[in-house]
Amino acid sequence: MESQQLRAIIASARAGDEEAYRQLLAAYGRRLYGYFYRATRSHHEAEDLLGEVMLRLVRRLGDYQHRGRFESWLFSIAANLVRDRIRRARARASPMSLESGGDGDASLGESLDGGAEPADRALLAGEASGLLAEALEQLDERSRHMVLLRHFGEMSFKEIAEVFQCPVGTVLAKVHRALKSLRAILEREQ
């Protein structure tokens, strides 16, 4: 979406125009959904989070300053939502730290439901034997979200570094290792 057009849509949305919000949803909804789905591995959670992020958008759009990129701002909200939900789910399921990664680092879908829902399993079966999803699960949480934000949010490394409050070099190092690992799995599939 062009900057001028986006600016006009944001102005209309701030004035409470429903059509403007529909346009924002049409422009970013699919990418947000993809991010939420890959982050939670649950279609149900992804839809719920998409609704939640749009409601936050309605509430916070007045605070948005059109200096940086809108989608980075939007995906930062999305990342915080996912992080909060995972934190709450883990607090209910186990005392595991959010910062810990690797072993036992289950997805939100698994934390909530003990695994992907049947409908999700069917969908996952249709994509490269679900190995990509499993490979994503093998990544530590930060690396997984960095890869997802880089792809779905088209965020710069600097923007991702701001979300995770770490040096930009650290972001690239984690993304690089994660991408290598995922690519290796995809190549094995082929």
Partner 1 sequence: MNATNEDYELVARYLDGEEVTLTAAQLALAEEVVSDGRQVGRALEVPSPAGTLHRVHGRMVRHLRPASRLWRRVRWAAPVAAAAAAAVILALVLLPGGPARPVPEPTIAAADYVDHFTRSPTQELDLRVDLLAEELAVYHVRLALNGSWEFETAVAGVEEEMEDLLLGDEADAAPMLETWEEPL
Within its chain, how far is the Cα of 51 from the centroid?
13
Q: How many residues bind partner 1 (CB under 8 A)?
A: 46
Structural tokens at position 59: 């509430």
Phi, psi of 139 (to 5 degrees): -75, 155
Contact call for residue 158 and partner 1 (CB under 8 A): yes
Nearer to partner 1, 53 or 89 (CB): 53
Q: How many residues does the chain have?
A: 190
Work out which of 78, 86, 89, 148 binds partner 1, going by CB under 8 A: 148
Contact call for residue 188 and partner 1 (CB under 8 A): no
Nearest to 41 by CA among 143, 142, 144: 144
CA 119 – CA 133 distance, rounded (Å): 15
Region binding partner 1 by CB under 8 A among candidate stretches 15-23, 71-79, 94-102, 106-114: 15-23
The answer to whether the beta carbons of residues 19 and 12 sit under 8 Å apart is yes
Write the DSSP symbol of residue 63: G
Contact call for residue 145 and partner 1 (CB under 8 A): no
Residues at the site binding partner 1, with contacts judged by CB under 8 A: 16, 18, 21-22, 25-26, 29-30, 33-34, 37-38, 43, 46-47, 50-51, 54-55, 58, 123, 127-128, 132, 147-148, 150-152, 156-158, 167-173, 175-176, 179-180, 182-183, 186
